[in-house]
Structure 1
Amino acid sequence: MKLYSFCITFMLSLLSCFGQETHIIEPSILEICYHTKYLNRYDDYALRIGKNVSEYFSYHNLRSDSLGSNPETALAIINEEIEAARNKNKTIPTVGGPNYNDYLYRNLEEGKMTTYTQVWDSHYKITEDIPTPEWVIHEDSTRNIIGFNCTMATTHFRGRDWKVWFCEEIPLPLGPWKLGELPGLILAAHCDGFLDIIASNIKREQLPPVTFYNFWEKKYKDIDRLSYLKKASNHTLYPKNTIFIPEMELE
């Protein structure tokens, strides 16, 4: 309960610091909705795709940031935090999961990926070349996902073994999180004992634009990926009794 109380106090302390640096990057041409499951936690993510830039983020985190940064709607988010604290020892599924707070941007034109993330109350910006996992494609293993025929591929990427299903009918080298660089859009991904991701819908009309979100006017410090992972795994940087969820990357 201490962690949730601290979160609520922290959110209240930020209510005097409103302002937005949110801005549109470019129009969207496609948006894929993914459902994720980690233990008893679930989430829903968007892969929003423009001509040159795509972004990947949690719908629930976006809602929390948007409402929480508005003094007229912040109370609703605080009440939800209180309810989550009451139910934390029950079997009720909880929203969230690995890297829940992250916003990822993939710039195909520049060949760069940028992750906006945090370690407790410190905020960081990680810029790297778009990752290229070493995939093994299994042509004889297929699966139908939301009406699309998909082919399986496997890889060991950043410390975890991934199994994904990609769709060549949608010839985009993209996917959830940092997974991609296959000859088709990844519609599902699985990591044994860790995480399941599956597309639930594809939107093509009336799409919000690809947008840089920063409702809280966070000041992001540049950091390299490995230094970030070292900080993220340093439990002394967090309050006592913090509940830790594993990072998407282990190395």
Structure 2
Amino acid sequence: MLAVGVSGVMAQAHIKAVYTETSRNLHATDTVKSKEMTLVSGLNRSFYFNEMSQYCDSMDSTPEGKKKLQEVQLAAWMTTSPDGSISIDMRRGNAPRKTVYTYVEKDFANGNVTVYDKWGGEQGVYSEPLHEQEWTITGDSVKTVLGYDCVLAECDYHGRHWRAWFSPEIPVQDGPWKLGGLPGLILSADGGNSFTFEIKGLENYDGSIGSVYNKDSYQKVDRKKALENEEYYANNMESVLRAQGVTLKMPANATPPKFEAHLHSIEPDYK
């Protein structure tokens, strides 16, 4: 629950919501993977991000921070064998590490949404009109999420049918990822095939709304082309990396994962 009532939300203008985002695991399609994402939303803009990734990018944005982060990571990951050889295992220790590349910036004032992510091994960015979802509100379908009474809305968006539960008690026309535009904050959403967003925390927020670091490192991309590249990269990773001079050791009997748009892409409309 919010620390104060609805009137406090309106006066403060900013909220901070934490969501669990799930999707189907490429390497084990009968399982799902999850990540924690944060939405900070204000009157004019909002920012959707992973807090660990934002921290790592903030450190990488200055020479001093980059050096300090590398020192912490190497101290946790690097081991030296008796023969003097050095190995690095990023699964060791508890060092900060960026594993989520998705950032979404919504500009309510200018009516656009900008997505920063990594597709096909390359960082990219694209913008499109804000809230293109055309929702149908089902007023007689209600459920409680995080203690709030929520109403069901449905839409077809970029190849998925979304069922979203929003709360009119929280007058913020926003939600996780690119979803939004309803008369209340989206607390839960299901796009089928294990693509879900579920709120786990919500509070008033009086800090500034952040932004993406190192924006000049992102190349402008076409959304559908970027999604095509991601599928090709996933299905041909060994040959792509070999062309880049990287050797990927796979067990002799290993079956390479098969990326399928309807199962593994949150926006399968590129097919």
Same fold (TM over 0.5): yes
Q: Give matches, 1:24-173, under 5 Å.
A: 29-38=14-23, 39-66=31-58, 70-77=66-73, 79=76, 82=89, 84=91, 100-173=100-173
1:182 & 1:234 partners in 2: Cα distance? 35
Indicate if the aligned counterparts of 1:169 and 1:184 stay in contact, CA closer than 8 A.
yes
1:185 & 1:134 partners in 2: Cα distance? 16
The structure 2 residue matched to 1:225, chosen from 204, 223, 226, is 223
Instruction: Report how far residue 29 of structure 1 moved.
Output: 1.4
Q: Which has the higher contact order (CA 8 A, sep 6+)?
A: 1
Indicate if the aligned counterparts of 1:143 and 1:150 stay in contact, CA closer than 8 A.
yes
Task: Give 5+ residue unaligned stretches, structure 1.
Answer: 1-26, 86-94
Higher mean alpha-carbon deviation, 155-164 vs 56-65, is at 56-65
2:266 corresponds to: 248
2:91 & 2:195 partners in 1: Cα distance? 21
Structure with the largest fraction of strand:
1
Q: Given residue 43 of structure 2, which amino acid in structure 1 is its aligned partner?
A: K
Q: Number of aligned pairs?
A: 212
Q: Given residue 19 of structure 2, which amino acid in structure 1 is its aligned partner?
A: Y
Indicate if the aligned counterparts of 1:168 and 1:184 stay in contact, CA closer than 8 A.
yes
2:241 corresponds to: 239
Indicate if the aligned counterparts of 1:53 and 1:106 stay in contact, CA closer than 8 A.
yes
Deviations 1:143-192 (A, max 9, x none): 11112110111222111121110011112221101111111110011122
Higher mean alpha-carbon deviation, 49-58 vs 188-197, is at 188-197
Alignment partner of 2:89: what SS?
helix
1:213 corresponds to: 212
Alignment partner of 1:212: what SS?
coil
Alignment partner of 2:141: what SS?
strand
Instruction: Report how far residue 53 of structure 1 moved.
Output: 1.0
Task: Give 5+ residue unaligned stretches, structure 2.
Answer: 1-11, 24-30, 78-87, 93-97, 243-247, 249-255
Across the aligned residues of Structure 1 and Structure 2, the Cα RMSD in angstroms comes to 3.0
1:74 & 1:142 partners in 2: Cα distance? 49
2:193 corresponds to: 193
2:213 & 2:44 partners in 1: Cα distance? 20
Instruction: Report how far residue 218 of structure 1 moved.
Output: 4.9
TM-score (norm 2): 0.67
Deviations 1:49-87 (A, max 9, x none): 1221101112232244345663223355564793549xx
1:120 & 1:75 partners in 2: Cα distance? 28
Q: Given residue 56 of structure 1, which amino acid in structure 2 is its aligned partner?
A: Y
2:251 corresponds to: none
Instruction: Report how far residue 194 of structure 1 moved.
Output: 2.0
Deviations 1:128-151 (A, max 9, x none): 111321222121211111121101
1:113 & 1:121 partners in 2: Cα distance? 22
